[in-house]
């Protein structure tokens, strides 16, 4: 507020030199915290550019997915609006490969992934943030050190362990190695750290035990971070490609990311059907995100508080 006042002060004194009446109302409105027409225009232009950058490729893909068999899909930018629109490509995406089956597999993997992530990240994060125990710093150190390892590095050892457990070619085998992500643990730890000690002490004074405090006091306070972990867990599970490919051998178990690859091969690569399948695959993550959007933004703010 003070900076705005300071900035406008000199321009008021220089007002007499500019005879046009236009600047005056603008300055007034600015003082009230509103924005002037020029700034408004700039903001709109920037927003339109941002939307075009984000939505443009998606709309282009939608255009391609709706094109009929006789239309070219190549060219830059080519014809963006199909002249002979058809929904047939979406049907073909389901019949050319068992896309429904793949979606179910991915759904199951994602559901398990989110459940494991929520459970393990919340408990681990809580312990690391609020329960003092021997070796806590060491535990965090190990977590941080391994967080930087790309999955490819531990691919073979993970494969051996998972096989050793007899989980090859099972959905559980796909989920377990990434049942909890280190980022999720750290997000939850930060969230629990941000809760004032007084709240916990007050709960103890009122006679709440550790479990009760965790469940009724702590968990509701970090709802936003839980949403963040849920979304992260969902995206991680949904986006997996290399690991399911390595651990699964029965194509009937493939998740959708591996499955849609079969639409684009050396013998056939119909961009319309590929686009249609890609759009279908995109829907579940979008739904999850929109459903949890409000909580996610609070969650990001929670993390920022303690930053």
Partner 1 sequence: MQRKTRTISLAAATAAAVAVALSGCGLGSGTGAEADVSGAVEGTITFQTMQLSPTFDEYINAAIDQFESENPGTTVKWTDIPSDQAARKVSADSAAGTLPDVMDLDAATLAPLGRDSRVLDMSVQAADLQDRYVASAWESFDYGATAVAALPWYLNSPVLMSNSALVQQAGSPAAPTSYTELLEVSKEIAEKTGKAGFQPTSIGFPNYLLSLGVPLVNDDSTEAIVDTPEAEEFLQNLADLYTDGGIPADSVTAAQRTEIDTFSQGETAYLETGPSRLKIIQQNAPQVFDAITIDQPLGAQESTTWVVAHGLAVPQTSKNAATAVAFAEFLTSPENQLALAEQSSVFPSTAESLQDPFFSAEPTDAATQARGIVAASLFDGGTMAKPPAVDAEYANTLWSSVQTAITGETPVKDALAAAQTQLTELLQSRVQ
Minimum separation from the CB atom of position 159 to partner 1 (A): 5
Q: 142 or 283: whose CB is closer to partner 1?
A: 142
Query: Which residues partner with 269 through β-bridges?
Result: 264
Please work out, in degrees rounded to the nearest 5, the angle formed at the alpha carbon of residue 296 by the alpha carbons of 293 and 302. 155
186 φ/ψ sector (left φ>0, alpha ψ -120 to 50, else beta): alpha
Which residue from 16, 33, 70, 196 is in contact with partner 1, where contact means CB under 8 A? 70
Q: Which of 140, 239, 242 is nearest to 189 (CA)?
A: 140
Strands (E), the chain: none
Binding mask 85-124 for partner 1 (x = CB under 8 A): -----------xx---------------------------
Binding mask 6-45 for partner 1 (x = CB under 8 A): ----------------------------------------
- In whole angstroms, give the CA distance from residue 150 to residue 173: 19
State yes or no: residue 76 binds partner 1 (CB under 8 A).
Answer: yes
Task: Give Cα separations from 37 to 8, 34, 43, 56 (angstroms).
Answer: 17, 10, 10, 27
Binding part of the chain for partner 1, among 1-9, 26-34, 216-224, 260-268 by CB under 8 A, reads 260-268
- Site residues (CB under 8 A) for partner 1, limited to 160-199: 160, 163, 168
Which residue from 251, 290, 301, 304 is in contact with partner 1, where contact means CB under 8 A? 251
- In whole angstroms, give the CA distance from residue 307 to residue 303: 6
Binding residues for partner 1, rule: CB under 8 A, are 70-76, 96-97, 135, 137-142, 144-146, 149, 152-157, 159-160, 163, 168, 241-242, 245-246, 249-251, 258, 261-262, 265-272
């Amino acid at each position: 507020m003070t900076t705005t006042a300071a900035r406008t002060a000199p321009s008021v004194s220089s007002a007499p030199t500019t005879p046009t009446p236009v600047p005056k109302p603008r300055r007034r409105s600015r003082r009230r915290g509103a924005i002037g027409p020029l700034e408004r225009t700039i903001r709109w232009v920037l927003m339109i550019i941002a939307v075009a950058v984000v939505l443009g490729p998606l709309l282009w893909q939608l255009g391609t997915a709706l094109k009929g068999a006789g239309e070219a899909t190549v060219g830059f930018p080519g014809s963006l609006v199909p002249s002979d629109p058809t929904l047939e490509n979406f049907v073909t995406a389901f019949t050319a490969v068992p896309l429904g089956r793949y979606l179910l597999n991915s759904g199951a993997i994602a559901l398990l992934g989110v459940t494991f992530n929520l459970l393990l990240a919340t408990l681990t994060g809580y312990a690391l943030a609020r329960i003092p125990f021997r070796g806590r710093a060491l535990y965090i150190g190990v977590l941080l050190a391994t967080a930087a390892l790309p999955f490819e590095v531990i691919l073979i050892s993970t494969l051996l362990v998972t096989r050793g457990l007899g989980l090859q070619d099972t959905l559980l085998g796909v989920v377990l190695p990434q049942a909890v992500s280190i980022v999720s643990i750290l997000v939850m730890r930060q969230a629990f750290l941000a809760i004032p000690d007084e709240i916990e002490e007050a709960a103890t004074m009122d006679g709440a035990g550790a479990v009760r405090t965790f469940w009724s006091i702590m968990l509701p306070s970090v709802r936003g971070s839980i949403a963040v972990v849920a979304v992260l867990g969902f995206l991680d599970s949904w986006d997996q490609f290399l690991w399911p490919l390595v651990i699964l051998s029965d194509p009937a178990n493939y998740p959708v990311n591996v499955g849609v690859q079969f639409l684009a091969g050396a013998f056939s690569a119909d961009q319309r059907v590929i686009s249609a399948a890609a759009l279908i695959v995109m829907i579940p993550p979008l739904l999850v995100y929109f459903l949890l959007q409000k909580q996610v933004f609070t969650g990001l703010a929670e993390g920022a508080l303690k930053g």
